[in-house]
């Protein structure tokens, strides 16, 4: 039986099965190994898992039988550093696979995108057997000003492929702003006008090239509607990312990492607020989900089923996901908590309390 969701953790990849209205955990793959990202390709059923094995480097695995067995495939590789300009202080070396996404529905199965630390975007057209660095983005002069947000080096954490036209791809970079191609990576334009980086000196706060969008999300039914949980606040775009509007009125905190967009309702999105920089824990040690259903004009604070005392679970960028119906959601935390909702986030049920730290949850 194939899993309906996956949880990538510091000590393995856990399959999740939805049976009788409840979730159950299956036996993990790669037990003991850090899994930083996972992906399911609905076009051919393939599953992917990115591992960060420290001294042994970054590895990529693929399964074609629902996770019963895995094959090692090529990990993205940077060209030799000698090609870099002398002033490039970022090593041309793969540190982590931070995002994986399928190509568009109109592209052949096996077309994939991978976002990495230190900020390179890669593309595969053979299911990960080989990868090509997207030089048109990597060679941009603006990259010299990118810097790490949470990690020592910049990284691509979000890849949005426009469901109307797979040539249009938008990526989010910490800290390098939002970039978009309309020709499948041949050329790129810097987006992000309207974002505000409160961590920068006043004269640089509005610079789109040094923004830190923690995570990007797109409404599939209205792909011009984008959301970001930014380091400084929540922002929303209604024109495909060209202009962003700062969203005020979040009742708990403007800070957080995760965002999920409803696949059909352009006004609906979910966030997991937290106390920012110095602490990075839930506000008042009580976990909550924040939901807007009117494009950010108002927010609901949802706590039902979530821990409400002595809770220090942080939800990272990829720790929140919503399924294709918009009714089922998953949350995974840095302290191994896993929660599920089957009513659009109005209430939550505990799936697991003691998993390893969770980097990513994804529906299959």
Residue 315 has pLDDT above 90, yes or no: yes
Which CATH number covers residue 238? 2.130.10.10
Residue 124 lies in a domain: yes
Least confident of 86-90, 227-231, 346-350: 86-90
CA–CA dist 55, 116 (Å, integer): 18
Q: What pLDDT, on the 0 to 100 scale, is given for residue 235?
A: 98
* Exposure class string for 327-355: b at 16+ Cβ within 10 A, else e: ebbbbbbbbbbbbbbbebbeebeebbeeb
CA–CA dist 348, 61 (Å, integer): 32
Residue 298 has pLDDT above 60, yes or no: yes
Q: What pLDDT, on the 0 to 100 scale, is given for residue 276?
A: 83
The order of strands in the sheet holding 300-302 is 256-261, 269-273, 289-292, 300-302
CA–CA dist 285, 329 (Å, integer): 22
Q: Which residues pair with 226 in a beta bridge?
A: 218, 237
Q: Which residues pair with 25 in a beta bridge?
A: 16
User: What's the mean pLDDT in 331-342?
Assistant: 98
Residue 299 has pLDDT above 70, yes or no: yes
Cis, peptide link before residue 163, omega less than 30° from 0 = no
pLDDT digits (tens, 9 = 90+) for 64-78: 999 999 999 999 999
Would you give the end-to-end CA distance of the chain in angstroms? 12
Residue 247 lies in a domain: yes
pLDDT digits (tens, 9 = 90+) for 241-261: 999 999 998 999 999 999 999
Rg of the chain taking only CA atoms, in angstroms: 19
Residue 291 lies in a domain: yes
Q: What pLDDT, on the 0 to 100 scale, is given for residue 88?
A: 83
Domain that holds residue 132: 89-356
Residue 349 lies in a domain: yes
Residue 279 lies in a domain: yes
Q: In the chain, what are the helix, strand and coil shares in percent, each to the nearest 5?
A: 5, 40, 55
Q: Which residues pair with 178 in a beta bridge?
A: 172, 191
Helices and strands per DSSP (H, E), number in the chain:
1, 28
Counting Cβ atoms within 10 Å, is residue 87 exposed (0-12), middle (13-18) or buried (19+)?
exposed
Residue 33 lies in a domain: no
pLDDT digits (tens, 9 = 90+) for 177-232: 999 999 999 999 999 999 999 999 999 999 999 999 999 999 999 999 999 999 99
pTM summary value: 0.97
How many domains, the chain? 1
Which parts of the chain fold into alpha helices (H)? 135-138
CA–CA dist 142, 210 (Å, integer): 9
Q: What are phi and psi of 204, to 5 degrees?
A: -115, 0
User: What's the mean pLDDT in 96-105?
Assistant: 97
CA 146, 151, 153, 158 torsion-angle sign: negative
Q: What pLDDT, on the 0 to 100 scale, is given for residue 278?
A: 76
Question: What is the DSSP secondary structure assignment for residue 277, as one 8-state letter?
Answer: T
Which pair of structure tokens corresponds to residue 216? 């990007």
Residue 277 has pLDDT above 80, yes or no: no
Residue 162 has pLDDT above 90, yes or no: yes
Residue 333 lies in a domain: yes
- 81 band by pLDDT with thresholds 50, 70 and 90: confident
Residues sharing a CB contact under 8 Å with residue 352, sequence separation 6 or more, in sequence order: 25, 336, 337, 338
Residue 295 lies in a domain: yes
Least confident of 5-19, 226-240, 273-287, 346-360: 273-287
Which pair of structure tokens corresponds to residue 20? 């009788």
Is the CB of residue 139 less than 8 Å from the CB of residue 89?
Answer: no
């Amino acid at each position: 039986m194939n899993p309906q969701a996956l949880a990538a953790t510091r000590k393995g990849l856990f399959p999740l099965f939805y049976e009788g209205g409840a979730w159950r955990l299956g036996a993990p793959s790669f037990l003991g190994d850090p899994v930083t990202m996972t992906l399911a390709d609905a076009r051919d059923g393939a599953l992917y898992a990115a591992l960060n094995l420290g001294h042994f480097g970054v590895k990529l695995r693929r399964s074609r039988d629902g996770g019963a067995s895995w094959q090692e495939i090529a990990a993205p590789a940077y060209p030799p550093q000698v090609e870099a300009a002398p002033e490039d202080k970022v090593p041309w070396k793969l540190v982590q696979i931070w995002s994986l996404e399928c190509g568009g529905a109109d592209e052949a199965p096996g077309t994939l995108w991978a976002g990495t630390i230190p900020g390179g975007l890669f593309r595969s057209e053979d299911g990960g057997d080989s990868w090509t660095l997207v030089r048109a983005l990597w060679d941009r002069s603006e990259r010299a000003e990118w810097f790490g947000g949470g990690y020592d080096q910049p990284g691509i954490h979000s890849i949005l492929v426009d469901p109307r036209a797979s040539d249009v791809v938008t990526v989010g970079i910490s800290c390098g702003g939002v970039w978009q191609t309309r020709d499948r990576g041949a050329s790129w334009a810097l987006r992000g006008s309207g974002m505000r980086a409160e961590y920068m000196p006043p004269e640089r706060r509005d610079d789109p090239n040094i923004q830190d969008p923690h995570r990007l999300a797109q409404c599939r039914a209205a792909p011009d509607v984008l959301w970001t949980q930014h380091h400084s606040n929540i922002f929303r775009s209604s024109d495909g990312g060209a202009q962003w509007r700062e969203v005020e009125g979040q009742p708990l905190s403007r800070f957080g990492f995760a965002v999920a967009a409803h696949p059909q309702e352009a006004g609906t999105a979910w966030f997991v607020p937290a106390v920012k920089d110095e602490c990075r824990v839930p506000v008042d040690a009580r976990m909550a989900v924040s939901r807007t259903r009117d494009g950010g004009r108002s927010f609901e604070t949802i706590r039902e089923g979530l821990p409400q005392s002595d809770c220090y679970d942080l939800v990272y960028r990829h720790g929140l996901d919503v399924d294709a119906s918009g009714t089922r959601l998953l949350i995974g935390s840095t302290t191994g908590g896993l929660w599920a909702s089957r009513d659009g986030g109005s209430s939550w049920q505990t799936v697991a309390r003691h998993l390893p730290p969770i980097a990513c949850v994804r529906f299959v």
